[in-house]
Amino acid sequence: NTIGTEAMSYFNSAYYIYVLFYSVSTAGLPVAISRMIAASNAQGKRTEVKHIFKVSLLLFTVVGTLGTLCMVVFCHQFSALAKNPHLYLSLLAIAPTLFFICIVSAFRGYFQGLQNMIPTGVSQVIEAVGKLALGLMFANYAIQAGMNSWQAAAFAILGVTLGVVASSVYLMLSKLWNKHDAFIPFDSSEPVRTSGSLVKELIRIAIPITISSSIMSLSGVIDTFVLVPRLQSLGLDLETVNKLYGAYTSYSVPLFNMPPNLIYPFSISIIPLLSAFNSKHPGVTANNIIESTLRIASIIALPCTFGLAVLAKPIIALLYKNEALYTNDAGKVLMAYDVSASLLMVLAVSVFFVSIIAVTNSILQSYGFERYTIYSTMLGIVVKLISAYALIGIPTIGLYGTPISTGLMYLTIMILNFYFLIHFTKFKPRLRRT
């Protein structure tokens, strides 16, 4: 609403590239930490719990530093690849976020492993509020100062960076204040694995999850690098393409992401729960836990899917301001409301798919079958790439090829995840109950 759709195209392009770096750097490590801490804590190895956290924090710090430097050094190359020469400024503004999100991930993995979700939840609220409040403040300053769209986008994205900084500060203080952690006795007689063995196990668990998450994050990157040149091949200029892309990523995508964001917290929370269960009861399938989790996800996702599909335009009209995007060959002026609402109606179908994917990924990761999520995600992203390139280039489909290809990707991943879940965990779904 503040900086407009063109500026938001720079904002979202930079954010998608950051998400790819984040996925490559840390996506699997918080899950690995929570699994290892949950298993050690369930066996009463409290000293090892502390040692796992210390090793993880050091590893995250190194990874975050390298990732941030990589984004800074290659920002101009990414701008050239995206065919947006001014994108580098937003990349520089968001680059430090990668370092701080690595620190945040280490602390969140620690608390989740102890099945204490309060610090994670509060830190996410702080992060979200910080992003919103500071982002709006910087965006308003940029507009009032008369800055152009790419400069305004860079100022707005600083809110993301500072929101994550605030979240990391809160988690550090929570670690100091947390009584459960502060009074864990140090037992020198307790056998503790070496730092090297802990790092090896962290990497062994994290790499498949990281690869899967990195491939998944390619969905947004594909939209960034495929959509712009494909729409330009249909005769649209760069400014118009950026406005259309901005309307999709700023209006439709955030609303699409809201329902799955309700699913992610409890899908993450079942990882230490199932890991602890598996540690105590090896070879036993936790059918009731899995069924309950899938049921809750479905109860949330299905109404949201239908609600977004039916009420797309009223919701967008309530939350965003309208603006003209471009005039088509027939002389009709296309407005942001109309375009983004139509795209959201198509994208809404994927809400159910991605919600179930979040849960099935967590279950497979809890059972140590995280490598199979790589296979499903890899095939899904291939479907996304091929269908996006083909559909966006068809004049009668154009921009709608993006949400259609996204839906095909998520459907593919969901089907394969269910196959792996039933085949490898021996889970027996009771459809009437689930």
Number of neighbours of residue 166 by Cβ within 10 angstroms: 19
Of these ranges, 6-15, 52-61, 275-284, the one predicted with the greatest mean pLDDT is 52-61
Copy the structure tokens of residue 136. 């709006």
Q: What is the pLDDT at residue 319? A: 77
Task: Give the per-residue pLDDT at 183.
Answer: 37
Residue 331's pLDDT is 62
Q: Are strands 324-327 and 333-335 parallel, antiparallel or unpaired?
A: antiparallel
For residue 432, pLDDT over 60 is answered with no
Give yes or no for residue 327 having a pLDDT over 80: no
> Which of 382, 383, 364 has the alpha carbon at shortest distance from 274?
364
Higher-pLDDT residue of 383 and 427 is 383
Per-residue pLDDT reduced to its tens digit, 183-209:
344 444 556 677 788 888 888 877 777
pLDDT at 5: 65
Looking at residue 248, the DSSP 8-state letter turns out to be: I
Which residue's entry shows tokens 């899938």? 294
Q: Is the pLDDT of residue 19 over 50?
A: yes
pTM exceeds 0.95 for this model = no
* Secondary structure tally for the chain: helices H, strands E: 17, 2
d(CA 413, CA 434): 19
* Predicted local confidence at residue 146, as pLDDT: 80
Residues 356/298, Cβ–Cβ less than 8 Å = yes
What the block records as the tokens of 100 is 């701080």
Tokens of 69: 């430097």
246 and 4 in contact (C-beta within 8 Å)?
yes
SS3 category, 107: helix
Residues 52, 271, 422: CA angle, nearest 5 degrees: 135
pLDDT score of 65 more than 70: yes
Residue keyed to tokens 């599909």? 309
Strands (E), 265-351: 324-327, 333-335
Question: Crossing angle for the helix pair 370-392 and 401-425, nearest 10 degrees?
Answer: 160
Whole-number Å distance between alpha carbons of 25 and 101:
10
Most confident of 81-85, 216-220, 226-230, 236-240: 226-230
Task: Provide the 3-class DSSP secondary structure of residue 1.
Answer: coil
Strand partners, 334: 326
pLDDT of the residue at 385: 92
Task: Express each pLDDT in 379-417 by its tens digit.
Answer: 999 999 999 999 998 988 888 999 999 999 999 999 999
Beta strands in 160-296 (DSSP E): none
What local confidence, expressed as pLDDT, does residue 188 receive? Answer: 47
C-beta atoms surrounding 433 within 10 Å = 10
Tokens of 165: 């900084």
Whether residue 349 is predicted with pLDDT greater than 50 in this model: the reply is yes
In this prediction, residue 114 carries a pLDDT of 84
How many CB atoms lie under 10 A from the CB of residue 153?
Answer: 30
Q: Over the stretch 106-146, which tens digit does the pLDDT of each residue have?
A: 898 888 888 788 888 898 889 888 888 888 888 888 888 88
Q: Are 34 and 113 in contact (CB under 8 A)?
A: yes
Residue 344 has pLDDT above 80, yes or no: yes
Domain layout of the chain by residue ranges: 4-425
| Predicted confidence (pLDDT) at residue 316 exceeds the cutoff of 70 | yes
Query: How many CB atoms are closer than 10 A to CB 2?
Result: 16
Q: Pull the structure tokens for residue 263.
A: 């699913």
Query: What percentage of the chain exceeds 70 in pLDDT?
Result: 86
Give the span between the Cα atoms of 90 and 68, in whole angstroms: 13
Residues 6+ apart with CB under 8 A from 342: 312, 400
